[in-house]
Chain A
Amino acid sequence: MKVLETPIDPEEVRELRVGDAFYITGIIFTARDAAHEKLLGLDDGEVPFDPSKYAMFHCGPAIHRVDGEWQVVSAGPTTSIRMEIFEDDFIERFGTRIIIGKGGMGDRTLTALQKHGAVYAQYTGGAGALMANAIEKVEDVYFLDELGIPEAFWMFRVNEAGPFLVTMDSAGNSIHADVAARVQKNLEQLKREL
């Protein structure tokens, strides 16, 4: 079982290839559409944490406060392709090297992954209970009042969270693109059989 620790070691990430599964111990931060837009709109001095050190997770958690402490109820991934319009700029500006979500991303992100030695990893859609179990503590939350619970930046301290399956790597490989091409070919064959 491969466990990556944060702060992230750029060399470890660069070596990851599609099909590799890994776990993370350390800090994962959540970011959805509004969070991407928010951070990209800030001046450098206003960014409240260093996104290059941690793994980014496309996730809007189910979370509630118990006796003043935030507790994560369930935290699976959201559909990553919505963030395609922001992700290359985000990686370029903030140096984030591990992006976790579901469903894969497009060519713009794949190019940015190659340029910056980053990976996109899929966490199993819907596996929110499993992730919540790996979260030891909610370390912090940013822009909660402005963005609301699902869209805020949640900083989760995790212990062996995962498995995350690398589906897009820094060498330009994409399982999503490969599967899509194969599915289209199979579709044509199956339609001929009707």
Chain B
Amino acid sequence: MSNTSLENQLVAAIKQAVTSVTPETQEQLRAAVDTEKSDASRVQLNAILENIDVGTSESRPICQDTGTPTFFIRAGSDFPMLGQLRDTITRAVRRATTEIPLRPNAVDPITHENSNDNTGRHVPVIHWDIVDGDEAVIHVIPKGGGSENMSKLVMMTPGRGLKGVKEIVLEHVAAMEGKACPPTIIGIGLGGGSDLALQLAKKALLRPVGERHPEPEVAAMEEELLEKINRLGVGPMGVGGATTVMDVKIEYAHRHPASFPVGIVPQCWANRQTTVHVDAEGTAEVTQ
């Protein structure tokens, strides 16, 4: 068991994440070039694709906003390195910041001081899910500020029902225009409370582009929203067109009878994600 080897693999995972997009995302972007009719939207998509090629071939961050270092962890309660995982990730983020390098994106909201190493109070952001077992799966999702700024929480009147949810999502994606760097992926979290709705919305983004929710009712709603949003006409980078979103992902939790929280978290086209699988011996493998 070795913390150093896990740390190395985490640095590698951050590097792969910020210098590429997931394979499914790339496929969708390539397909969109054929769907788009206008020169303006094709200029945007071709620049995106060329940019991804440069980033990947030169190991260069595809976007200068290398995001807030964010991790979703599913760890077994018997995973031997559980207690040291936060420290190991923090060290990996510091190293990644100088080695790749990343833009320093952690600012103290009170003093305005930038920590310059992408760590700070509650940063890196880590979401924990403790399960049975002795292994860990660490999702790395450096999330850009432009798309994060377009997140939204609505404490909807429950009587509006799922029709109300769809109205809220359509209105919000229309209002986002080009600001979240479309074509985006829209994560939606329903129910829970204010906190959980937004957390689920972000977690929904971990599912690969193109993969439907396992429950048919939820999958149908994802498909309906995907089809309707793409008829809004926002288009790549907001210049008009048929590709406003690549996918819509919904997760949900039971809600209080008086509350219907609707959380929306968009992901820009630069859908940067990798996963680190670690076994009980500390052997780590990076996948994308």
**CB contact between B177 and one of A61, A123, A180, A191 (< 8 Å): that residue:** A180
A25 CB, min distance to chain B CBs, angstroms:
17
B17 CB, min distance to chain A CBs, angstroms:
14
Q: Does A48 reach chain B (CB closer than 8 Å)? A: no
**A103 and B178 contact, Cβ closer than 8 Å, known pairs A129-B55, A167-B239:** yes
**CB contact between B61 and one of A74, A179, A180, A194 (< 8 Å): that residue:** A74
Question: Once the chains are docked, how many angstroms separate the CA of A115 from the CA of B257?
Answer: 57
Q: Does B132 reach chain A (CB closer than 8 Å)? A: no
Q: Is the interface of B mostly helix, strand, loop or mixed?
A: loop
**Could you mark each residue 160-194 of chain A with 1 if its beta carbon is under 8 Å from any beta carbon of chain B, else 0?**
00010101000000011011101110110011011
Q: Does B256 reach chain A (CB closer than 8 Å)? A: no
A137 CB, min distance to chain B CBs, angstroms:
17
**CB contact between A129 and one of B51, B146, B174 (< 8 Å): that residue:** B51
Question: Once the chains are docked, how many angstroms separate the CA of A145 from the CA of B147?
Answer: 29
Contact assessment for A126 and B61 in the assembled complex, using a CB-CB cutoff below 8 Å: no
Contact assessment for A184 and B174 in the assembled complex, using a CB-CB cutoff below 8 Å: yes
Contact assessment for B60 and A186 in the assembled complex, using a CB-CB cutoff below 8 Å: no
Within 8 A of A (CB), among B172-219: 174, 177-179, 181
Contact assessment for B64 and A73 in the assembled complex, using a CB-CB cutoff below 8 Å: yes
Question: Once the chains are docked, how many angstroms separate the CA of A150 from the CA of B239?
Answer: 26
Hey, which chain A residues are within 8 Å of B285, CB to CB?
A: none
| Number of residues on chain A facing chain B (CB within 8 A) | 48
Q: Does A128 reach chain B (CB closer than 8 Å)? A: yes
**A129 and B240 contact, Cβ closer than 8 Å, known pairs A76-B63, A104-B178, A187-B171:** no
Hey, which chain A residues are within 8 Å of B44, CB to CB?
A: 122, 124, 165
Residue in chain B with minimal CB distance to A178: B240
Q: Does A59 reach chain B (CB closer than 8 Å)? A: yes
**A190 and B60 contact, Cβ closer than 8 Å, known pairs A124-B237, A126-B144, A175-B40:** no
Q: Is the interface of A mostly helix, strand, loop or mixed?
A: mixed
Contact assessment for B232 and A187 in the assembled complex, using a CB-CB cutoff below 8 Å: yes
Contact assessment for A186 and B231 in the assembled complex, using a CB-CB cutoff below 8 Å: yes
Q: Does B163 reach chain A (CB closer than 8 Å)? A: yes
Hey, which chain B residues are within 8 Å of A19, CB to CB?
A: 39-40
B102 CB, min distance to chain A CBs, angstroms:
7
Contact assessment for A183 and B181 in the assembled complex, using a CB-CB cutoff below 8 Å: no
Q: Does B268 reach chain A (CB closer than 8 Å)? A: yes
Question: Once the chains are docked, how many angstroms separate the CA of A193 from the CA of B228?
Answer: 9
**A191 and B238 contact, Cβ closer than 8 Å, known pairs A19-B39, A124-B51:** no
Hey, which chain A residues are within 8 Å of B239, CB to CB?
A: 122, 165, 167, 175, 179
Residue in chain A with minimal CB distance to B56: A129
| Number of residues on chain B facing chain A (CB within 8 A) | 51
Q: Does A7 reach chain B (CB closer than 8 Å)? A: no
Contact assessment for A183 and B174 in the assembled complex, using a CB-CB cutoff below 8 Å: yes
**CB contact between A128 and one of B63, B101, B149, B232 (< 8 Å): that residue:** B63
Q: Does B166 reach chain A (CB closer than 8 Å)? A: yes
Contact assessment for A102 and B237 in the assembled complex, using a CB-CB cutoff below 8 Å: yes
Q: Does A75 reach chain B (CB closer than 8 Å)? A: yes
Hey, which chain A residues are within 8 Å of B51, CB to CB?
A: 124, 126-130
Q: Does A13 reach chain B (CB closer than 8 Å)? A: no
Contact assessment for B43 and A62 in the assembled complex, using a CB-CB cutoff below 8 Å: no
Contact assessment for A179 and B238 in the assembled complex, using a CB-CB cutoff below 8 Å: yes
Contact assessment for A125 and B146 in the assembled complex, using a CB-CB cutoff below 8 Å: yes
Contact assessment for B170 and A187 in the assembled complex, using a CB-CB cutoff below 8 Å: yes
Residue in chain B with minimal CB distance to A124: B47
B251 CB, min distance to chain A CBs, angstroms:
21
Contact assessment for A62 and B234 in the assembled complex, using a CB-CB cutoff below 8 Å: no
Contact assessment for A163 and B55 in the assembled complex, using a CB-CB cutoff below 8 Å: no
Question: Once the chains are docked, how many angstroms separate the CA of A149 from the CA of B66?
Answer: 15
Q: Does B6 reach chain A (CB closer than 8 Å)? A: no
Q: Does B78 reach chain A (CB closer than 8 Å)? A: no
**Could you mark each residue 127-161 of chain B with 1 if its beta carbon is under 8 Å from any beta carbon of chain A, else 0?**
00000000000000000101001000000000000
**CB contact between A126 and one of B39, B62, B170, B174 (< 8 Å): that residue:** B62
Given contacts A60-B103, A179-B233, 4 further A-B contacts (CB under 8 A): A79-B179, A102-B178, A125-B269, A179-B239
| 5 pairs from A and B in contact (CB 8 Å cutoff) | A59-B64, A126-B51, A126-B62, A150-B103, A190-B228
Q: Which of A's residues lie within 8 Å of B, judged by CB?
A: 19, 21, 59-62, 64, 73-76, 78-79, 81, 102-104, 122-130, 132-133, 148-150, 163, 165, 167, 175-176, 178-180, 182-184, 186-187, 190-191, 193-194
